[in-house]
Structures are given as structure tokens and as C-alpha cells.
Chain A
Amino acid sequence: MSVTGPRLQPTLFERSRPGRGGGKIPHPPAGALDRIPADARRTMPPALPEMNEPDVVRHYVNLSQLNFAVDTGFYPLGSCTMKFNPKLNEWAARLRGFAELHPLTPDEAAQGTLQLLWELEGALAAISGMRAVTLQPAAGAQGELTGILMIRAHHRARGEGDRDEVLVPDSSHGTNPATASMAGYRTITIPSAADGGVDIDAFKAALGPRTAAVMITNPSTLGLFETRIGELLEAVHAAGALAYMDGANLNAIMGHFKAGEAGFDVMHFNVHKTFSTPHGGGGPGAGPVGVGDTLLPYLPTPRVLRDDDGSFRLERPGERPTSIGRMRSFVGNTGVLVRAYAYIRAHGASGLREVSDDAVLAANYLKHRLAGVYDLPYDRPCKHEFVASAATIKHETGIRTLDIAKRLIDFGFHPPTIYFPLIVEEGMLIEPTETESVETLDAFADALIAIAAEAASDPETVRAAPHTAPVKRLDEATAARQPNLRWRPMAGVETPCPD
């Protein structure tokens, strides 16, 4: 295959020229590896690219320019909370005292970071109404697994280890049922009610002595607040089960609703959503988990503790035998947590509530702008996101949501989340966040309205979109049928390792 597009880049491997590069690392003394037994040594060197620094930099700068990003434009991905990533946070995480601290540094030499983590735990507990928080999980999905494993430990400790079912609504993130499976549970999927909310009666009917937990996203993935959540939580607890809240949509409700006060036993936070840490092209994130009293004994180890003298320390191995153990190495994605801490301090109580107010206002305004052009299957005030549907447009013109999403690229916008939740036909989940101006919201609404008109007047243009992106739509079928997952160096160019 050749690189034919004017903006596309050769791979690192195609740029490589034997003999290029160097100058970074002093050469080791001869015989440095003599003590390594021959059978443990590498015989053929890895065929890594040989490049000089200017070529490396141009490669990655040119590649970067093929990306859409929050820093380049509006990214209304529902359920992802693509808000602005403050630059102060990047600066802070790179302060040498934070960046170069080894995770096994003795506590007395790591007091600054330990204090930050301890304060962040407290802030997240205050925001969620939870009793305590662990910062260890590396992402939301790992937070879910942490929570469900704690629930498992709780039931076992009570002699109810035979509870083997987790109930999730059909509108849930895929991570919820996948997490339940990883924790050894069976997933029972409960269909949503007609108004888009959890079907309380169906949930009550499914609850029983086999139920370990229910996992609820609130507001839901349709952007709707679960108004009957109190009733559901009572039924869950009456059945001896525990309630997990997926906190992916926390950006809608800060200062308005606290999961812990409402009676949830455990929830996770996605700091890369709510607390502005960058998504990084897929990661890293962090998925702290808050618990109420019931699950407090089971929090993963190590916790960050404050001793009576005001100093901070990590829990020692074996100090709390009820813990479910470790979810990962060391304390967590600390560099991400430094950014989240900075965000929370910058906003404070009033600022965080304003974040949610503005996120919800923006979503409702955008939804209002699309009324009459797109279907709005749940016509009540939404929270931070809403589902629009192109079902009628598809019926009348044959243009699908996928086509509309791709056409948005030509208008300079990133497409919203499409075909999720799975329960809405031709759905698009739109989340504007609080950091987009009303001019941007209007321009985006104008674009969607223009595309709806195009679907009728010029459907081919929509169907063939995008037209301005670096590449056209991709051949995903061949990619899956004949997977090419790595560059193959040309045969015969390798030379054995020097002794």
C-alpha cells in the first residue's frame, strides 16, 4: 500500500535509514554485558526505526495535525464530557516535585503528594456524599470492577456468597455488564421504561435472594435524571442487595445530587470526564471510587492515611485484612489526580455547582434548537446531554445518523456519540459541556439543521461525507477480515546483535 493522500504520513519504519540518529546516550564500556549468559541474550536486534530528532518531531507534529481535538474544536461526544483541559493542570503535573517522585519513596519524603491525594479523597467524598474514597483505580471501568469486587466481599463476609446476579438497565454503558462478568457475576439486563427511565417495576420483579447488586447510571445515558431512584434504592436494600452508581454523568449534578446521601453504596468518578483531565486519545484517566459505611472495610489497599501528628502515610501491606487487595501497582494514576485536584481547587464549591448548571443549560438549549428538525424521543428537560434521533430523516431520505455524523466533520465539528445508547433508533448522544460558548452551540445547531435539509436536497453529498477530512470513510470490513496489526520489516535487512 502506498501513501497517496497529501496530508498522510509514512510510518516511522518507512522513514528509517540505517545510521541515522544517536547522540542521546553515552556508549557503555566494552564488556558491559559479559555477565549475561549467552542463552539469555538477544541474538537479533529489534528492527526499531533509526531517525534523527528533526524527522521524529516532524513525524509526530504532522501526524498530530490529522487529529480532531478539544483544543481544535467542538467535540460534543455524549457520555464522554469533552470539556476544556486547563493548561494550569498540565503545568502542575509536570512540576518536578510531582513528576519525578518514585512511587516507593518512603512516606516522609513524599508528604506533598500524599497530602494532595488525601485532600482530593476528601473533596470527592464531599462531592458525592460518600464516606471514603480510593484513588487507586486507573479508569472508570477499573473503578467499576473495584466496586463490584467490594460488593462481592461484603456478601461473602455475610455468608451470602451465593448471590450471583447483577442487574443493569439496557441503557447502561457496556462496561457495566462487562465488569459484572469479570467479577464472576451473571448480568441480568432490565429494559428501560417508555419514558427512558429505569423500569422500577421490572427491577423490583428481578430483585431477589440471588441479586448481589444493581448498577445504575444517574443521570442515565439518555441524559435523564432517574426520578424514582429513591424507591429503587429502597427495594434494592430490602432485597439485601447493594446499589452501584456509575458516575460517568456526574458533570450534570454536582451540588444538586449526592449519591451517598441518596443511598447508593458505592460509585466511581471519571476524573477525565467530570474533572477535566485530558482524554489523551483514549487514556489515561483515573476512576476513584467512593463508598458508604457498608463497603468501607473492603476498600483496596493502600489507602492514604493521616496520622495524629498530621503527617501522611500509605497503608502498609497487610494492615487492613478486610481489604479486597490491590487493583494495580502503587497508589494510582497520580499524575492524573494532580490535574483533578487543581481543577477542583480552581472551582471550589460554587464553581463546581456552576459547572453543572452551565452544562445542563447548554444541553437543554442545544436540544431546544434541534426541536422540530430531529426527533427528540424523550421530551423532558435533560441533564448534561440528550439523545436526538434521525429516525424520521432516515425514513424520509434514507440518510442515516452515521452519514449525518460524518457530514458534521465537513462543517468543522466532531460527531456526537452515535448509536448509543443502543435502545434509541438512529440515536445521537450530544453532550456540549459547560466550556462551549453560545456562539459555538448555535453554529453546531445550524450545521445539524443544514445537514437535515441536505439529506433531502442533496443526499449523495451527505452519504459520501466526510469530504474535507484527511481520509474518506474506511474499509473496516477488510481491516477485520485480514488484520494487519503491525508493520513487517523488509526481510534481509536485519543484522545480528553485536556481542
Chain B
Amino acid sequence: MPYGPHTSADRERMLAALGIDSVDALFADIPEGLRASSLDLPEPEPELQLAARLRGLAARNRLDLVSFLGAGVYRHWSPPAVDQILLRGEWYTAYTPYQPEVSQGTLQSIYEYESLLAELTGLDVVSASHYDGAAATAEAALMTCRATRRERVLVSRGVHPHYRATVATYFEGGLELDEIPLVAEGDGAGTTDLAALERMLADPDRPVAGVIAAQPDFLGLLEPMPRIGELAHAAGALFVAVIEPVSLAVLAPPGAYGADIAAGEGQPLGIPPQYGGPYLGILASTDALVRQIPGRLVGMTTDLDGQRAFVMTLRAREQDIRRDKAASNICTNQALLALAASVYLASIGPHGLRDVAALGAAKAAELEAALAAAGIPRLHPGPYLNEFAVRVPDAPRVHRRLLERGVLAGLVLAEHEPDDPSLADGLLVCATEVTTTEEIDRFAAALSETLTGRPPVAVEAGAG
């Protein structure tokens, strides 16, 4: 066994102390009929070979692609300080801080995370973390039902399809979920249909607990969040804003437009894409909902000598105390990723974060102009931050062709929103601060060639 300490003398000493000859005696209580068949696994692999195997698998993933793929996970510059801090064993090999006297590092870091995200979201209570943006959104939806004692939630189709699917799964236990359609055409195309929302809220027999909308929405568009919140509140429902944290450096925070709860994906805060996780589920709420928010909370207090110190608190919401009456079953969360987000925010600072958001917006405008020059228009007219959909004839085929040319041309929307015919020709593309003009030019040129079979005309890159 590669990491075990015991010599055969050690084992014999322990067996002798127990008065047995073999460790098998300690398994004698497993009934004969329930003993396992042999383990059908390969033999142990020494570190040298295993490292080569892992390197080989990693190399089978293509990272030579020029990527414009976002759709909920974004490439950003993460200062190397972030990962180097995370690699300290005192952080990543510690357990949940149940013993506060020997966990002040973790506890203070969580309190600081809560404070940083409170600043970003404009809300006062921030859970120590949830699994990802989808699970955080599902927990937010459940919160609205507990708080209002109602059983129906409305989610905009502008919310990420994985998040909507996750809420639907979490609601299998007996709650009702309806989708608010998006505006089909005109200036507001691709954003939440307010008239439809109003109608759905008006049904007196099916009172609504919560309304969920995303800013920016899945298609990259800016939603009329203040208006959605007003409509929700007028019907006695809570308003859940699904947020992207980097955008909050420049976009109005949920607390400013009346959201009761913010949920979202913290991956853009210094966390690598790693094919789906571990990420960071952000969940924040107003003070009024502090007893309903699930997950760990850390508060400031003092020790017996009067020193400032930090401790997990309001634990009567949690499963290990309340069991079947708990606010959620969550136990293990994403603490190390909350730490990553905090180190990222501290390293990059408020001005840096604003530059990240604004530079992404500028690069996206450059991308929009380059694609337009290649004959590819946007699919929706409304304002966006750094991600938008474009109309490409036969999008799935073009996407495959571009992949052969080393360009990952965003997301084929039809594969993720198959029920929406307006997105049939759509590609969802994004740019961030790491996107370069050369990459944009290469995308536009490859697209132009794929569509026309001709090399492209020179594109004047500009921020529009």
C-alpha cells in the first residue's frame, strides 16, 4: 500500500496486543454468505507509471483550441497566488471547522468570504458555499417555498438550462415549477417575458413562492431585473437573482434592485474550468431570511479571554443538529473554492475586478464587430455584457467544421435548448479579458472561410 506506515513488525505488534493471529479475525463478524467476491481491479501502479498514465490521459484532451465557449463557465486570469495559497496543506487537508480553537484560519477565511460576497451582491447573509450555481439556485428555490409556505416557483427560461433542470429535480419531492417564456421578438427578444410573468403570477389558486431570473441571462442579455422583482413582490413572492460574480463589479447588485436571494456560480473568481467542478455555489440573502438559508454560516465572536474569534453559528438550521427538520441536507460544501474566490478577490482588488468585467465587455464588442464583418449577425438586439448569441446557418455543422480548424466556436444552442426554435441557428459565444485580438481574427477568418469557402477580407477590429 503506497501511503501506509506499517511494517510487518508493526502489524504483528498490534495483532499480538489484540491476541489474534490475523486481521481476518476482525472481519469474522461478516456472515459467510455476505463476504465479498474478489475485487476485480488492476494491480497497484507505482507512482512513476501512474504519473505517466495520468499525463497521457490529460494529453488526450484538446487544449490547442481557440475557445469562445462560456455558457456558465468562463476563462479568466487567476493570479498564481491563488493556487499557491490553496496548495498549503493547512488549508486543503483540514476538515470542517467544528473545533474552532484549532480552525481559526478556515473560520476567518469563511467570514471574509461571506463579507466579500455580501459586498458584491449587496445582500447581508452569505452561506459558506454550495456545490455549484445550479445547486445553489435549487436551494434558493426551496428557500422561497419554506419562507412563504407556498409550493410553486417560476423560473425564467433565461436561466441556464442546467440550473432549471436541477431545480426541477430538487422539486421532485412535491413542489411545482413553471417556466416563464422569453420574449420572442423585438427589442426585448431573449429576455424574460414580463407580460407572461404577470399572467402566471395572477393565478389565485396557485400562489407563487419565488420568481427566478438571471442577470445576465443564459443568452448573455441584460434582464429588466428591477421590474421582475416588482412583479414578484406585488404577488407576495420572493425574488431570486441568478448572478455571475465578476459582472457584479459593473452591474447593479441584487441588493440594489430588491432581490431577496442571490444564487450563482463562483467559478469565474479564480477557479479553473476542470470539466465541471469543483466550483463554488454562491447563495446570499437578506437578513430577513437568515433562519431559512441553508448551509454553514460563520460569525464573529470572542473567546473566553475576550480575543476576537470566529465560529460556525446559527447551527439549528443544519442537518447534524435538526436531522429531518433541517433547512437542507447539505454537509460537505465547497469551502476550498470559497477560499479560492476570496484570495482571487483580495489579489485582484475592486479596481482589478472592474477591469476584468469591462475588458471582457470590450473584447466581446470586438468579437461582435469581427463576426458581423464576416456576415454573422447577433441573434438578439438587446444589450449584453460579454456573451451573446449569433445567427449561423446550419450552426451544428459549422461548429464542427470550426473545431477541425482549431476553433471552439462557443456553444451550439440547439443542443442545449432543443425546444426553442428561435435558437435553432444560434451559437452562444463569449469573450473575457484573456481573449486576444489574434484569437478573434482567427475565429472570424475561419468562420468566413467555412461559410463562403473563400478566405476572408481583412477585418478592422474595433470596440464598436
Contacts and interface: CB of A to CB of B under 8 A. Distances in A.
Are A and B part of the same complex? yes
A487 B112 contact: yes
Interface stretch (B89-97, B199-207, B443-451): B89-97
B91 A67 contact: yes
B330 interface: yes
Interface string B283-320: 00000001000001111111111111101011100111
Contacts of B91: 60, 64, 67, 69, 280-281
B351 A1 contact: no
B460 interface: no
A49 interface: yes
Contacts of B457: none
A338 B50 CA distance: 12
A44 to B, nearest CB: 8
Interface stretch (A236-244, A344-352, A388-396): A344-352
B45 interface: yes
A487 B111 CA distance: 8
A71 B91 CA distance: 9
Contact of B307 (A5, A61, A110, A434): A5
Contacts of B10: 437-438
A78 to B, nearest CB: 11
Contact of B463 (A29, A256, A470): A29
Interface in A166-185: 173-175, 177-185
Given A42-B253, A105-B408, A435-B5, A142 B346 contact: no
Contacts of B61: 97-98, 101, 105, 109-113
Q: Which of the listed residues B94, B160, B361 has the most CB atoms from chain A within 10 Å of its own CB?
A: B94
Query: Is chain A's binding surface mostly helix, strand, loop or mixed?
Result: loop
Given A98-B61, A113-B61, A348-B43, A325 B90 contact: no
A255 interface: yes
A68 B415 CA distance: 47
Contacts of A329: 72, 132-134, 160, 162-163, 166, 265, 276, 279
B351 A22 contact: yes
Nearest to B59: A97
Contact of B114 (A95, A104, A181, A485): A485
A141 to B, nearest CB: 4
Contacts of A358: 1, 4, 6, 11, 23
Interface stretch (A200-208, A289-297, A449-457, A472-480): A472-480
Nearest to A344: B41
A327 B166 contact: yes
B3 to A, nearest CB: 5
Contacts of A104: 69, 71-73, 411
Contacts, number: 719
A461 interface: no
B377 interface: no
A47 interface: yes
B261 interface: no
B170 to A, nearest CB: 7
Interface in A425-468: 434-438, 466
Contact of B336 (A22, A116, A280): A280
B79 interface: yes
Contact of B277 (A335, A434, A437): A335
Interface string B99-128: 111111110111110111011100011101
Given A149-B172, A333-B277, A127 B92 contact: no
Most chain A beta-carbon neighbours within 10 Å: one of B54, B60, B72, B399: B54
B259 to A, nearest CB: 14
Contacts of B252: 39-43
Contacts of B102: 66-68, 409, 414, 466, 469-470
A113 to B, nearest CB: 5
Interface in B190-222: 215, 222
Contact of B359 (A26, A65, A92, A141): A26
Given A65-B105, A365-B17, A471-B101, A95 B302 contact: no
Contact of B331 (A77, A140, A334): A140
Given A101-B275, A342-B50, A485-B125, A348 B45 contact: yes
Contacts of A149: 169, 172-173
A331 to B, nearest CB: 5
Contacts of B411: 104
Contact of A183 (B57, B67, B103, B173): B173
B132 A328 contact: yes
Interface in A227-261: 227, 229-230, 253-258, 261
B346 A102 contact: no
B100 A471 contact: yes
A27 B343 contact: no
Interface in A149-179: 149, 152-153, 173-175, 177-179
Contact of B274 (A91, A101, A351, A435): A101
Given A179-B329, A361-B26, A475-B304, A230 B33 contact: yes
A324 B301 CA distance: 43
Given A26-B433, A42-B253, A438-B14, A485 B50 contact: no
- Max chain A C-beta neighbours (<10 A), residue from B168, B249, B361: B361
B328 interface: yes
A75 B131 contact: no
Contact of A283 (B120, B174, B333): B333
Contacts of A141: 319, 329-332
A398 interface: no
Contacts of B422: none
Interface string B25-39: 111111101111111
B132 A257 contact: no
Contacts of A365: 14, 17-18
B273 A99 contact: yes
A104 B73 CA distance: 9
Contact of A334 (B30, B276, B350, B352): B276
A47 B119 contact: yes
Nearest to B60: A112
Contact of A56 (B3, B333, B347): B347
Given A46-B253, A56-B346, A466 B30 contact: no
Given A24-B77, A104-B73, A351-B2, A381 B276 contact: no
A409 B90 contact: no
A372 interface: no
Contacts of B400: 106
A360 B33 CA distance: 21
Contact of B41 (A41, A91, A352, A472): A352
Contacts of A144: 329
Closest 5 pairs (CB-CB, A-B): A71-B89, A184-B173, A97-B58, A112-B60, A280-B336
21 contacts: A24-B349, A47-B119, A61-B88, A64-B105, A67-B90, A70-B94, A86-B3, A92-B58, A102-B73, A103-B73, A140-B331, A152-B173, A281-B335, A282-B336, A329-B160, A331-B275, A355-B4, A466-B102, A470-B104, A474-B304, A485-B125
Given A42-B256, A178-B322, 18 more contacts: A8-B307, A29-B463, A36-B251, A60-B88, A67-B94, A69-B93, A110-B275, A153-B172, A282-B332, A283-B129, A326-B169, A330-B73, A346-B2, A346-B50, A361-B11, A472-B305, A484-B299, A497-B354
